[in-house]
Amino acid sequence: MEEYRSIIGTNEGTVSIKDLEGYKPIGKGADGSVFQLTSERCIKIFEKEQTKELELKALQVGQSSLVIPRLYEDGQNYIIMEYVNGISLPQYLKKEKQLPEPIVEKILAMLMELKKVGFERHDTEVRHILFNEDMDIKVIDLKRAFGTVRSNPTKLLKGIKKKGYLEEFLKHVNKLDSALYKEWKSIID
């Protein structure tokens, strides 16, 4: 089950994509590649050590929050964290063709959590919001949690607008928190 341990042990703290042949690839971006190791764990291999350190810091700071994936270990160029078995917000919207109030409420709670744990950036891309099997939110790709000061979720709002659900989203925000609605409405208009 944990064959990946031998890979890490033999490579003196570094892991390459070639080392993970046979593991399920679950994501690839500019910063690195992610592979599922077990039903509960995944590994992200980073292109740059600096990016790995930024994401590691955010994961470490966020361990008290239920919206941040659990951190298991890290090495020179990788982080092993909780594997979120679920769907992204864009996948959810494509499937359900709606953005109901309970989901908006969870998104608002997630944004409050980012602030509560001490992140400087209270924002995320829509594709970085994942819903697990219980429809609980997890936020991934946290490298900009520090260093990018943003108290309003401009990336999130732009992403929801691009998907065609901004009006519905804001209608629910207005019902749930009218002061927040007014603040956000002013940054989109």
Shared domain check, 168 and 152: yes
List the Cα angle 72/110/77 in 5-degree steps: 30
Shared domain check, 76 and 94: no
Number of domains in the chain: 2
Shared domain check, 73 and 91: no
Shared domain check, 115 and 43: no
The model's pTM is 0.92
Shared domain check, 75 and 8: yes
For residue 44, the model assigns a pLDDT of: 96
Convert the pLDDT of each residue in 67-124 to its tens digit: 999 999 999 999 999 999 999 999 999 999 999 999 999 999 999 999 999 999 999 9
Shared domain check, 123 and 65: no
Domain end residue (candidates: 82, 110, 134): 82
pLDDT bucket at 1, cuts 50 / 70 / 90: very low
Q: What secondary structure does DSSP assign to 114-154, as a single string?
A: HHHTT-SB----GGGEEEETT--EEE---TTTTTS-BSS-H
Question: Alpha-carbon distance 160 to 154, whole Å?
Answer: 10
Convert the pLDDT of each residue in 123-138 to its tens digit: 999 999 999 999 999 9
More confident call, 186 vs 24: 24
Question: Alpha-carbon distance 112 to 60, whole Å?
Answer: 18
Q: What domain range includes position 173?
A: 86-188
